[in-house]
Amino acid sequence: MSDLVRYKCLIGGEWAEAASGEYFESFNPYTGKPWSLVPRCGEADAARAVEAARAAFLGPWRSMKPTARGALMRRLADLVAAEAERLAAIEVRDNGKLYAEMASQVRYVPQWYNYFGGLADKIEGAVLPTDKAEVFNFTRSEPLGVVVAVTPWNSPLLLTAFKVAPALAAGNTIVLKPSEYTSASTLEFAALFEKAGFPPGVVNVVTGFGAEVGDALIKHPKVAKVTFTGGERSGRHVYQTAAGGFKSVSLELGGKSPNIVFADARIDNAVRGAIAGIFAASGQTCIAGSRLLVQDRIHNEFMDKLLAFAKTAKLGDPMRSDTQVGPVATLPQHQKILDYIEVAKGEGARCVLGGGRGSGPDCGEGWFVQPTIFDDVSNKMRIAQEEVFGPVLSVIRFRDEEEAIEIANDVLYGLASGVWTEDMRCALRMSERLEAGTVWVNMYRAVSFMSPFGGYKHSGLGRENGQDAVRAFLQTKSVWINMAETVPNPFVMG
Ligand code: NAD
């Protein structure tokens, strides 16, 4: 008998095995060993979950007043707050990120359910003027129906909140599909919906692989919208599949974000911003500042300080408070990062820090990569163009503002960017010209439930967070009412 924790998925308020009865193992990246078993759902489970969500949408959820819906969401927020540390520890066991980071993320998650819960009863239509005599015209903002939310492994509950909170506020029901690498925290979180008093079927969770249960969900004819966060390749596939059923789609994809340091910047602050941008979460964030653009004039001084600081990074057990860099989340990801390091060396980039597998007494059997910095990178190199999703920084020099913009925008992605300067005119010009959904000036890596987040170009479609995020889960209906006593003869025009 295995001593692994055995999870079930949640369909229509019932905890269930996959129809096939199959499970797969989930691994702890710090020990390299499996710790839990997760149901391997497929097409039949996807169909059951969508039917349950559709029944809840047409039944108890639709008849619930928006104020009551909002109150349930706020109750959920309180339950998440009370369980934040337990949920965060589960996330660390699955994705290996630092407990300190995951705990602060999960403690932040309730804000999404409070904020969007507060919006649930503020979704308004409009009365419109018309050019028709004796006609009254108004709009209703209505939910779409069943929403499928697909999430990646790096920040499971935070990225779930980006999707679930506005979708519920708008009156939709949901089928969640977490990453196959990090299903546990989403399943534990799902149990809180029942505790909060949500009707069964409003939120369902099916687990398994993208090509199996994920694909089946997206193809299901009763799904109205797909909201996806993940890699560019999967995102393209999801977009194309959803197009077959004319489903509404939002995509949050990858990035190759420029973090740009001008010569007049406060160097010590910019060094901190550069380090936070790439080594936090071992570089496994979509907004990683993986291209560091440094103005020629300060390049040498900046690099000395950057290297001195980066060398102090302590690798180790992600649960320990003195660890600064944890393992990477998956074995394939570990190999992919090491492969990219070899690609960069082969392309002629100069490795000035790290450049290999992380090891040492505190690393155990974990999947570690050394914090790695390449200098003298050209923006044409693959290491500057492709998302590595690991602790690998490419340093690129620039002469002036014009060249900084040219380099910064010369990638397929456009998720985020950072600008370090004391010249606010320069900062404003840069923020106008950077092709990115987020520009941070003299800071890096901030997100909030209050502020729109999303990508330009291949980094995605649509925006999450902020009040408008609710609109992405609504459709508008125009209602026309004839107030005249008689309907005109249709054979007489004019
Ligand atoms: P991934 O694309 O491999 O997987 C993401 C999710 O999509 C998983 O749940 C996976 O099972 C599912 N999936 C994969 N193929 C599918 C298919 N054919 N049909 C349906 N679902 C499918 O990404 P990942 O490796 O888990 O996460 C890392 C990627 O996510 C990086 O590229 C990162 O930049 C991106 N990301 C983006 C954001 C953002 O907000 N823009 C945030 C975090 C991560």
Q: Which atom of ligand 1 is nearest to the CA of 181?
A: 26
Q: Which atom of ligand 1 is nearest to the CA of 464?
A: 40
The answer to whether the CB of 218 is under 6 A from ligand 1 is: yes
**Of 281, 269, 259, nearest in space to 305 by CA:** 269
81 CA from centroid of ligand 1 (Å): 26
The answer to whether the CB of 287 is under 6 A from ligand 1 is: no
The residue whose C-alpha atom lies closest to atom 41 belonging to ligand 1 is 252
- 486 strand-pairing partners: none
CA distances, 460 to each of 126, 433, 469 (Å): 30, 18, 14
| CATH 3.40.309.10 boundaries in the chain | 258-441
The answer to whether the CB of 437 is under 6 A from ligand 1 is: no
Q: How far apart are CA 136 and CA 22, in angstroms?
A: 57
C-alpha torsion angle, residues 57, 62, 67, 70 (rounded to 10): 0
CA distances, 302 to each of 153, 171, 263, 297 (Å): 33, 51, 9, 9
Backbone phi and psi for residue 191, each to the nearest 5 degrees, phi listed first: -65, -25
The CATH T-level fold of domain 5-253+459-478 is Aldehyde Dehydrogenase; Chain A, domain 1 (3.40.605)
Catalytic pick among 180, 212, 252, 387: 252
Tokens 């239509």: give the residue.
125
**Residue 445, Cβ density class (10 Å: 0-12 exposed, 13-18 middle, ≥19 buried):** buried
* 286 is annotated as an active-site residue: yes
Backbone phi and psi for residue 491, each to the nearest 5 degrees, phi listed first: -90, -5
pLDDT for the residue 336: 97
The CATH classification number of 258-441 equals 3.40.309.10
* 432 is annotated as an active-site residue: no
**Of 77, 62, 87, nearest in space to 199 by CA:** 62
229 CA from centroid of ligand 1 (Å): 5
pLDDT for the residue 452: 98
The residue whose C-alpha atom lies closest to atom 26 belonging to ligand 1 is 152
Under DSSP, is residue 108 helix (H, G, I), strand (E, B) or coil?
helix
The answer to whether the CB of 390 is under 6 A from ligand 1 is: no
Q: How far apart are CA 484 and CA 452, in angstroms?
A: 45
**Of 241, 333, 210, 214, nearest in space to 282 by CA:** 333
Residue 143: CB atoms within 10 A of its CB come to: 23
| CATH 3.40.605.10 boundaries in the chain | 5-253+459-478
Q: How far apart are CA 59 and CA 398, in angstroms?
A: 59
Q: How far apart are CA 484 and CA 478, in angstroms?
A: 19
153 CA from centroid of ligand 1 (Å): 8
Q: How far apart are CA 217 and CA 11, in angstroms?
A: 13
Q: How many CA atoms lie within 13 A of 116 on its CB side?
A: 31
pLDDT for the residue 1: 54
The answer to whether the CB of 153 is under 6 A from ligand 1 is: yes
The residue whose C-alpha atom lies closest to atom 8 belonging to ligand 1 is 179
User: Mean pLDDT in each 10-residue stretch from start to end of the chain (494 residues)?
Assistant: 90 98 97 97 98 98 98 98 98 95 97 98 97 96 98 97 98 98 98 98 98 98 98 97 97 98 98 96 95 98 98 94 93 96 97 95 92 98 98 98 98 98 98 98 97 98 97 98 93 83
- The full length of the chain comes to 494
Q: Are 122 and 343 in contact (CB under 8 A)?
A: no
User: Ligand 1, residues 286, 335, 385: which to mutate, most atoms within 8 A of Cβ?
Assistant: 286
The answer to whether the CB of 334 is under 6 A from ligand 1 is: no
**Of 41, 159, 63, 60, nearest in space to 102 by CA:** 159
309 CA from centroid of ligand 1 (Å): 32
